[in-house]
Structure 1
């Protein structure tokens, strides 16, 4: 299994690396640190580039990647890559595809209140286009120990069963306790849903999943919780979140098949969430084997643990 880490030489990049290490340690995965260099284009500020500029930029990017690799402990295999792309988001998506990555891991903007999530332009683009799960680290994320609990946000709309199944299979195969959460806003935007309604619906989904697979819930530590508040943000705030926890959430119904689209409710959850979030594409066919389970995908262009691809071998995304 491999995770692509969208690395930047700032706190956001460090947050992404820390979360990637925590996930890799739980699954025995390898990490691919990817930095994006802009393509040569007549629309760039300077075109054609000044003599020697490309070499200077490549050397600087290589140094930044060395610094990023230095953040990764020796028990985690990591490789660094430089790619070119018209946009950072599209280049990262292409890198994840080329490297057969199971997920894309990025850090949130550092401008959010209380060191939580603020989705910048790159994260926003990924959350509306990626075909693999996108994992977001909150600003200031420093934990590198393995993930200790999985929470799965399950709503009442179409697609909830798929997200629930991903949560159930992931927790079972990785031996993680699972918390199933439904969030209810009791204010003006509640749509008439009550806590009792949400609880009944959530338990019904669990029972239906168990009916499809009689052994699915065996030896699985499940907690079913309904969070409520005046708003969705209040409901998220009212829940207890552990330091080693991560949240799984599905994509909006507006998403095209097998891609991500972060809906309005997920955006509101993100604004209040104090732990990392995994956004799963719509109609996601993967299970724990793809998301949080070791696989046998061969390492591509890896020169060994903690190695940097030569900066002279700059790859153009999608080519």
Structure 2
């Protein structure tokens, strides 16, 4: 069955970032790329003129924007255009993704993000609270990465909460489709309360991390190339900042345990990681959908 990658597009630099990475993801996984623009519905805003003429002009402009976006996509990526009216940008993307049984929804950073960094705006935050599809967060400047870079490595952040096997399975599926290796990452030694920052606890955390990573590696398909790394640093942000990131890398993190079933919620650990990660991050729901390519559960808070 053909997989789909839905990307939310706006005629901005961050919108082009999102499309550029989504094209690399679609090419690497053999998926169809669905470039989507969401327009305001007629009753969404009291300041939006309700006249049919205005709606036609807006639709015509959206079609021009989306055509220009698709023109920049490599010829070997199958791309479809979608223009939909909805109460919000996030709602429209979720509706499109649900209709296509999409594997991912891809969005760019909010305005104001510096190059190579993530920034969550109100639209992305709403999407993370409403989507039952894995959401890909793309950092500013991703359009500068050469299309032929593709996906070069899949890093999955492993925690200790139930559901790690599902998250590992999702990472393995992506790595297998892209033909790349998996890197298993643990932040256990630095993911500690400030009041528990002692050498003894950190040593114990390192030991537990080794055990968790060994168990995670055993869950990967036989023969799949994999490496393990235990992050070290004075804080989560410090530890993540000292990790190496490839230009074509993606990171998978699990949704918070606070999320409702089949919904996303960015937990505290993932939020701290996001401040330092310079590559796209895929946030996955804590419970599986009834169908779809990526169905991991939470492994992080």
Please give the TM-score of this superposition, normalised by the length of structure 2: 0.86
Aligned mate of 2:40, from 38, 54, 59: 38
CA, structure 1 residues 173+198, in 2 after alignment: closer, same or farther (shift >3 Å)?
farther
Alignment of structure 1 residues 233-252 onto 2, 5 Å = 233-252=237-256
2:275 aligned counterpart, secondary structure: helix
Segment drifting more, 170-179 vs 79-88: 170-179
What residue number does 1:303 align with?
Answer: none
Q: What is residue 299 of structure 2 aligned with on the other side?
A: none
**1:10 and 2:12 correspond:** yes
Is the Cα–Cα contact under 8 Å of residues 114 and 140 in structure 2 kept in the other structure?
no
Distance 2:193 2:171 in 1: 30
Is the alpha carbon distance of 1:135 and 1:186 closer, same or farther for their aligned partners in structure 2, counting shifts above 3 Å? closer
Aligned to 1:270: 274
Q: Deviations over 1:67-125 (max 9, x none)?
A: 11111111000011110101111111011001221110111124124540010111111
Q: With CA pairs under 8 Å and 6+ residues apart, which has the higher RCO, 1 or 2? A: 1
1:290 aligns with 2:297: no
Instruction: Spell out the pairing of 1:96-115 with structure 2 (5 A cutoff).
Output: 96-115=97-116
Superposed CA RMSD in Å reads: 2.5
Cα distance in 2 for partners of 1:276, 1:26 equals: 14
Distance 1:100 1:268 in 2: 30
Q: 1:219 to 1:165 in 2, by over 3 A?
A: same
Q: Are residues 1:185 and 2:190 paired?
A: yes
| Aligned partner of residue 229 in structure 2, secondary structure | strand
The 3 A distance-change label for structure 1 pair 168 and 69 is closer
Shift of 1:14: 0.4
Gaps (5+ residues) in structure 2? 296-301
What SS class does the counterpart of residue 256 from structure 2 fall into?
coil
Provide the C-alpha distance between the structure 1 equivalents of 2:222 and 2:91, rounded to a whole number of angstroms. Answer: 41
Shift of the 55–257 alpha-carbon distance from structure 1 to 2, 3 Å rule, reads same
Q: Secondary structure at the match of 2:42?
A: coil
Name the CA shift for 1:110/1:195 in 2 (closer, same or farther; >3 Å).
farther
Q: Tell me the alpha carbon deviations over residues 261-310 of structure 1, each in whole angstroms, 9 at most, x when there is no partner.
A: 111111111111101001110023689x8149xxxxxxxxxxxxxxxxxx
Residues 151 and 179 of structure 1 are in contact (CA less than 8 Å); yes or no, is this contact kept in structure 2? yes
Question: What is the deviation of 1:43?
Answer: 4.3
TM-score for the superposition, normalised by structure 1 = 0.82
> Does structure 1 residue 200 correspond to structure 2 residue 207?
yes
Higher helix share: 2
Contact map agreement 2:158 2:213 (CA 8 A) in 1? no
Which residue of the partner structure matches residue 262 of structure 2? 258
CA change 1:187–1:207 in 2 (3 A) is closer
Q: Would the aligned equivalents of 1:258 and 1:284 in 2 still touch at CA under 8 Å?
A: yes
Question: How many residues matched?
Answer: 287
More off after superposition, 245-254 vs 196-205 = 196-205
Secondary structure in structure 1 of the residue aligned to 2:37: strand
CA distance in 2, matches of 1:102, 1:159: 19
Deviation at 1:169, TM superposition (A): 4.4
